Each structure stands twice: as structure tokens, then as C-alpha cells.
Amino acid sequence: MPGDSVTYNSHMDPKLAGKLVVAISSRALFDLDEAHQIFSTGGLDHYRRHQIDRENDVLPKGTGFPLVEGLLKLRDPQGKDLVEVVLVSRNDADTGLRVMNSVEHYALPISRAVFTDGSNPYEYLKPFDCHLFLSANKDDVTQAFQQGFAAGLVYQPPYSLEQDANVVRIAFDGDAVLFSHEAEETYRNEGLEQFHQQERQSAEIPLNPGPFKGFLEALCRIQKLFDADRCPIRTALVTARSAPAHKRAIKTLRDWDVRVNESFFLGGVGKDGVLGVFRPHIFFDDHEMHCIPAASKLPTAQVPSPATREPVSEQLSSKKKKRVKPSAGRKPGRPRRRSRIED
């Protein structure tokens, strides 16, 4: 019922209790492409000097910025904050000052930050009871995922990051994201006909949870605080499933007592078309073949998955090309290259 309180993990720190907690790296929140290139070509000392000399230069918005900005505006009907965002960075606090100055410039109410000076930041997700982790570092995303956190590796920002300021829209793939990967394994190993037969026979058996079930549940708890016509969050399921495999997905969500606002059962049709209409603040999928076309239009993050032989792809960290202006033919959506300092 609208007006009910939100309760998440009972062991949460009292200052975080009742909130959706999102951890995001500095490279996921801001576009640090220039600084990364300097680190890659000039080394750590050159990078440090660059960041300190420009600590008052505002960083451009990154892939995760629209989601963070939208979530931080959420208030319950009594005016209380519903979301906490924690900056988690491989920088040290000295070089990270530019990031925090940019946070202040954009008036983002982010007060908590973790600077690890190259150490693995994913280890600090548990103390904050994070529901979601976004990063541009492949290893950190994979490690967080293996520890049971919903985690996504962000692609480069699309041409436009302007999103609906009043409603936060989030789109999810189905199998290996909201649901477990078992059904997808049947498709990969035995083909479409056997997959449909299995899903038809198992229509009344709920699918096992996927890595983003908890994040979706947290979003649904917030949605229940509002009347349907005034809800500031809208979700979508965008899946390659089609009839008859749609029934099991629908009944699984019903069994979990969660719902998504819009559902697209595409049967192999490209996802970027409907995503371009839905215009999510972020889209989560475990397949590079879906992420790349979507990332040119909207913020996109790839989810690690045991269902694919392309776990968060090495291409996401080692084949990033230098970006140029759109008029010169920049191809957005190529993932980021990993480094010790940047994340």
C-alpha cells in the first residue's frame, strides 16, 4: 500500500537501513577517458599530476550518471530519502578529489566514498549492504558478481545522456539476469525446440533467481510506496523469450511477488529498437551481442554470466579504441579498458 515503509536487510547500518544502496566507481559515474589515456601513455605519476592540476575542472557525465541522478531524487511520500549512493574508487583520496569536486558541481547528494589506491574496491560492498555495483573495471565486476552482488560493467556513454528527469526507467534482460541461467543453457546445448518444450512443460515451476532478483525486489518495494499513476520508477523486462516460453517468466515474477511495468518478448528480434522507445536510464544484459547496439543509444551495462562463453568479455577491457567526436565517426558503446588506478 502507498505510504508503507521500506525494509531491506535487518543487519544494515542504521544510517543505511530502509534505503536502496548503489555503489558506483568513478569511471562509471563520470567520463574519465582523457585521464585514462594519460595514465596509459604517461604512467601513474603523470596521471596523478594531471588529476591534481585539474581537480577543479568538472568531469563530463559518465554512463551511470543518469541512473544515479534519477535515483538520488527519489523521496518517499513523507519526503525521506530512499536511495544511498556510495562512490567506490581505485583512486586514492588525493587524486580522487577531482571526482568529489565534480560530484559537488552537479549537486549530487553523495557523501560516502571509498578510495582504495589500487586495491580491490569490491571487497567494501558488503559493509554497505549494496544492492547494485556499477564499474568500468572488469575484474571488480566479476569479483563482486561471484560474491553474490548484482554487478554490471558499464559501456562508454552513448551520444546523448539526457533522460526523463521525473521517472527512473530500468530495463533488464531475463535469463541470466533476473532469472537463473539454466533455461538458457538448455537453449545453448539442445536448441530452440527443446528449450520451448522444456519451458512449456515447466510453465508452473518458477525459474530460479538470477543475480538481479534482489535489485528488482528493492525497486518494487520502493514502487509500492506510491500510487501507480505517480510512481517515480518504471521497470521493463526485455527478453529474447517468446511464446510459449513467456508463460514461465510471467509466473515466476508472480511467484516472487514482484512485477515489471513493461515486458517485451522479442523472440530474437533486436532489443535496441524497443529500448530506444522505452529509453531506460540503464539496461542490463549478459550478452555482448545485445549490449553493443544498445550502448550506442542508451546507458548499458553487461552482467557476468555462467550461461555464456563470453563472460564479461576481454574485449570490454583490452580493445577500447580512442574516442573521437561524433562528427568524426566515433563509435559509442565500446567498453572500457582496465587499469590499476581507474575503475
What angle is formed at CA 72 by the lines to CA 69 and CA 76, rounded to 5 degrees? 140
Q: Which of 152, 136, 167, 140 is nearest to 66 (CA)?
A: 167
151-154 and 300-302 beta bridge pairing: antiparallel
| Cα–Cα distance measured from residue 70 to residue 159, given in angstroms and rounded to the nearest whole number | 19
Residue that the C-alpha cell 530512499 belongs to? 82
Task: Using DSSP, state whether 22 is helix, strand or coil.
Answer: strand
Active site residue 13: no
| Cα–Cα distance measured from residue 225 to residue 1, given in angstroms and rounded to the nearest whole number | 6
Show Cβ contacts of residue 190 under 8 Å, excluding neighbours closer than 6 positions: none
**Choice among 33, 173, 286, 343 that is catalytic:** 173
Tell me the C-alpha to C-alpha distance, in Å, between residue 139 and each of 87, 120, 174, 257, 290: 17, 9, 23, 33, 21
| Cα–Cα distance measured from residue 186 to residue 192, given in angstroms and rounded to the nearest whole number | 8
Rounded to a whole number of angstroms, the distance between the first and last alpha carbons of the chain is 40
Cα radius of gyration rounded to whole Å, the chain:
20
Q: What's 326's DSSP letter? A: G
Residues in the chain: 343
Residue type, 256: W
| Residues noted as catalytic | 173
